[in-house]
Amino acid sequence: MNRPDTAAQALAPRPKRADARRNYDKLIAAAREAFTEDGASASLEDIARRAQVGIGTLYRHFPTRQALLEAVYLDEVEALCRSAEDLADLPAWDALVAWLHRFVGYAATKRALAEELIACIGQDSEVFQPCRTAITAAGDTLLERAQQAGAVRADANFMDVARMVGAIAVIPGSSPEQIERILDVALDGLRYQSPAA
Task: Read off the pLDDT of each residue in 154-170 and give the average, rounded to a whole number.
Answer: 91
- Report which secondary-structure segment, H or E, holds 103: helix 92-121
Angle at 117 between CA 12 and CA 178, to 5 degrees: 95
For residue range 40-52, list pLDDT tens digits in order.
678 999 999 999 9
pLDDT at position 120 is 63
CATH architecture under which domain 6-188 falls: Orthogonal Bundle (1.10)
Chain segment 75-122, per-residue pLDDT in tens:
989 999 999 999 989 999 999 999 999 998 887 777 667 666 666 666
Which residue type, as a one-letter code, is found at position 116? E
- Report the amino acid identity of residue 4: P
